[in-house]
Chains A and B, each alone.
Chain A
Amino acid sequence: GAGVSQTPSNKVTEKGKYVELRCDPISGHTALYWYRQSLGQGPEFLIYFQGTGAADDSGLPNDRFFAVRPEGSVSTLKIQRTERGDSAVYLCASSSRDRGSPLHFGNGTRLTVT
């Protein structure tokens, strides 16, 4: 079956602009995560959804970052007033509800803020 799908794969935007990154998880996976990965570092947790609700958004760096998952499937990560420091690969992952089940990652969106 299809894996986690993220679009776009690459996004270049100017400083100050608004961007949306989309994640389509594996069908039936109720848990969805957003991570951010900078060059040479491990993924950094941003936000976790269980169903439609954000169960943990403690990793969002500031109020310019927001994510939604209105129907419990597709999620959108939104970044307002982008800054050059937001440049990174944004990874989405999903897993089944079972505790401890492995995460399945998408290929990520590489965001470059110029």
Chain B
Amino acid sequence: EDKVVQSPLSLVVHEGDTVTLNCSYEVTNFRSLLWYKQEKKAPTFLFMLTSSGIEKKSGRLSSILDKKELFSILNITATQTGDSAVYLCVAPMNNNAGNMLTFGGGTRLMVKP
């Protein structure tokens, strides 16, 4: 059965800290891995990773994929209170139905001032 596991489940840090969120996966016919940020409402798209070893960056956020060890990390440097959210790691299944996603349970990040 496909699964995506995220750790830690929750994390509390102070502004300015750097955090690393982990995601391990077991997905049939792996194609890509996505990271989303979910605040109060809809998850918003952060990154899509398809190749090992290539870092994706967006401002203070970066992510990398290791297809050999089946995991990904999301780094946030110089955290701010606005980074407080649930971060979801997602793996699409490459089945005939198309782009069905397997979500991890998320990491709840709280950044204190």
Contact = CB atoms under 8 A, between A and B. Distances in A.
B42 A99 contact: no
Given A43-B43, A105-B43, A100 B50 contact: yes
Interface of A: 4, 31, 33, 35, 40-45, 48, 50, 55-56, 91, 95, 99-108
B99 A91 contact: no
Contact of A106 (B42, B48, B108): B42
B60 interface: no
Interface residues of B, number: 27
Contacts of B101: 33, 43, 45, 103
Given A100-B50, A105-B42, A105-B43, A31 B98 contact: yes
Contacts of B102: 45
10 contacts: A31-B98, A41-B105, A42-B103, A42-B105, A95-B99, A99-B94, A99-B98, A100-B48, A105-B42, A107-B42
Given A102-B48, A105-B44, A43 B99 contact: no
B23 to A, nearest CB: 11
The 3 A-B pairs with the shortest beta carbon distances in the complex, nearest first, are A42-B103, A56-B97, A105-B42
B84 interface: no
Contact of B99 (A35, A99, A106, A107): A99
Contacts of A56: 95, 97-98, 100
Nearest to B104: A42
A105 B92 CA distance: 15
A105 B94 CA distance: 20
A95 B34 CA distance: 14
A82 B32 CA distance: 36
Contact of B88 (A42, A44, A50): A42
A99 to B, nearest CB: 6
Contact of B100 (A45, A105, A106): A45
